[in-house]
Structure 1
């Protein structure tokens, strides 16, 4: 009979053999005097087995599931974000929207665009980033935004003389629309010095406009000016976009046409710590004639003004004062008059100025 086998042929379980052997070791009266080979093997194994305490052999205690604290944190953050959007949507957009300041600048404008620039994300301008939320954020600054074409001989001028006249035409735009002193209300002496002194109607305009501005004699027809006691420029940068073109004019003259948009960020001067910033946007079309002195009375280095007109938004619509008067505070909210106009749309001709009436446009975007 094999070890661990009952007389009737059935096998004993391991648990029974272990109980039997423990009793044998403990000296139970009815324990066998000489255990079988299987009993000796199991007894040896039991002695070598380490003490498991109260834990059962082959028992398994499952690990506690980890608390899902991450989901609770995510849920809390989402709830806070939704509350922020509900109570201050504009500020939330400011935090996450790209302001375009790091985007590549636009290529120079060499022809009239076919359409207006695309809409920008709604963002509030700041003193550090006064062009946020505006197409002008990617425009060039100052004179760099005014494209000057390659010069060629025209009429009475050689290519070199045309190149010089084009440079002086841009100088006039800089002196009339970018000079810091002129923007602060000073008389534009450098720009005036480039105008033919023998052109009587323009000289009359210049004589009267700064003393007693009116619809007919308004310095804003040619120059950009802000009253320093009321309006303060933000930063040192004015964004520009536009170009010069030229052709042969009357009596062999060089006729230069400028079409340039200027974007001026300003804030109230009476509240130097104000965070309110308005962008006054002025698009000018100016035609200059560099005349042959053999045909027209002129002075060297000066041009006659053939025509001038401009579109303006956020610059005031009241009686002429000789200065742009951007609407601030309650004036801005109440300024609902005028035809809606996109001041960044350069795909259509300039419509305001000497020959286009005196209606004031209301900007669809700033």
Structure 2
């Protein structure tokens, strides 16, 4: 297993792999299949970008000698899990002291591009400190929309095995998952995300194993933050009831005629320390990309109204670098300047690059530093 939080898997026979590739390419074989995020991502990359290099800390399923052999070409037929976690610029890229860093710009416009649904790189102005009354002060998120309103959804049309009405329903359930996993007040305060988990295919064994382990024994390998935003209520509380968002949902026809939905969303969480009387506001920024497959039940073992995960990727700022306790772990005040990483300085509000490109650009550079939160 990679260092990020995915599970170990076993090799499969060559003849089984050959059969999988033929069926993935042709969409054949009417017998329902057990959905696997590893197999889905392999087929997706073979179909779209067969020569694309693995992103930085794109955690694969397995990291032992067999996997090293596979990466060198001697065991190229092992399924890999494409759940990627950007730990250096993600999982806690520690923010610099906002009072001493140029690069803050209140209300910068980072509107979406048509192709990627990401924003342009922002300009630079003088920082302003957040307060309990204005927790987004000094941040581009000050002009972002609240909650689901900041996430752009496409119009429904027939795609894959679904007609227009079914696509519309799948998009509604995608919206429900984003809300229940990353915006729900109880989940943000550390509660178990039951509503969100109910929307994940219970027959997708690799993801279900992750879910069973992640909350009981969180680690880099099994990390609930890959799918859910959570704070430890004994240490952190939200500063108000508003989460600012910017992101976009798109869809296309995926493997075996499924409706494949991609959500790439940045969430901005204003927080304060849980101690009585705490007033120093910090912000934790989470960019999460999730690819969901709404499968044809005639071809894939699934339950109505649930999706199978194709991949998930995470990039966090001021969330705790290389600390895997199942929660986002923000720092406050002068603590934000302590222990800064040695990676490149990045702007967590900059959505001008797809998350894959950002990850590749920071490959191997350790925990990064954010120009602001």
TM-score (norm 2): 0.67
Distance 1:114 1:131 in 2: 19
DSSP-derived class of the 2:229 partner: coil
2:184: which partner in 1? 179
* 1:5-20 correspondence to structure 2 within 5 Å: none
- Provide Cα deviations, 1:123-164, integer angstroms capped at 9, x if missing partner: 000111100110000000001111110111001100111011
Tell me the distance in 2 between the aligned counterparts of 1:114 and 1:210.
Answer: 33
Shift of 1:357: 8.0
- How far apart are 1:362 and its partner, in Å? 2.0
Cα offsets for 1:195-237 (capped at 9, x unmatched): 0000000000000000000111010111000001101110000
Compute the displacement of 1:361 (Å): 3.0
| Change in 2 beyond 3 A, CA 1:358/1:297 | farther
Alignment partner, residue 308 of structure 1:
312
2:291 and 2:337 map into 1 onto residues whose CA distance is 36
Of 359, 362, 366 in structure 1, the residue corresponding to residue 369 of structure 2 is 362
> Which residue in the other structure is 2:96 paired with?
none
User: How much has 1:99 moved relative to structure 2?
Assistant: 6.1
Which shows bigger deviation, 152-161 or 338-347?
338-347
Q: Give the Cα–Cα distance (whole angstroms) in 2 for the partners of residues 194 and 338 of structure 1.
A: 39
Aligned to 1:166: 171
Once the 2 structures are TM-superposed, how far is the Cα of residue 107 of structure 1 from its aligned partner? 6.8
| Distance change >3 Å, CA 330–CA 134, structure 1 → 2 | closer
Shift of 1:363: 1.2
User: How many correspondences in the alignment?
Assistant: 265
Deviates more, 1:114-123 or 1:291-300: 114-123
Pairing 1:324–2:328 present:
yes
1:203 to 199, 208, 227: 208
Query: 2:366, 2:228 → 1: CA distance?
Result: 19
| 274, 282, 287: which one aligns with 2:286 | 282
Contact 2:128 2:137 in 1 (8 A): yes
CA-to-partner distance for each residue in 1:221-272, whole Å, 9 max, x for gaps?
A: 11000001101110000000001000000110000000000000011112x3
Return the structure number with greater relative CO, CA threshold 8 A, min gap 6: 2
Name the CA distance, whole Å, in 1 between partners of 2:304 and 2:185.
Answer: 26
Q: 8 Å contact 1:109–1:243 — kept in the other structure?
A: no
For 1:264 and 1:224, locate their aligned partners in 2 and report how far apart those are by CA, in whole Å: 10
Say if 1:153 and 1:159, in contact at 8 Å, map to a contact too. yes
Q: Structure 2 vs 1, CA of residues 155 and 178 (structure 1 numbering), >3 Å: closer, same or farther?
A: same
Structure 2: distance between partners of 1:114 and 1:221? 22
2:152 is equivalent to residue 144 of structure 1 = no
Please give the residue correspondences for 1:68-217 in structure 2 after superposition, counting only pairs within 5 Å. Answer: 111-113=116-118, 115-217=120-222
> Once the 2 structures are TM-superposed, how far is the Cα of residue 178 of structure 1 from its aligned partner?
0.2
1:350 alignment partner, one of 355, 359, 362: 355
Verify the 8 A CA contact 1:185 1:226 in the aligned structure 2: yes
Q: Is 1:253 aligned with 2:258?
A: yes
Give yes or no for contact 2:189–2:232 (8 Å, CA) kept in 1.
Answer: yes
1:234 and 2:242 aligned: no
CA drift of 1:319 comes to 2.9
Secondary structure, in 3 states, of the residue corresponding to 2:166? helix
Native 8 Å contact 1:177 1:224 kept in 2: yes
Aligned to 2:338: 334
- Cα offset for 1:167? 1.2
Contact 2:348 2:372 in 1 (8 A): yes
Q: What is the distance in 2 between the residues matched to 1:109 and 1:140?
A: 17
Gaps of 5+ in 2: 1-98, 100-104
TM-fit CA distance, 1:310:
1.1
CA contact (8 A) 1:258 1:285 kept: yes
User: Which of the pair has more CA radius of gyration?
Assistant: 1
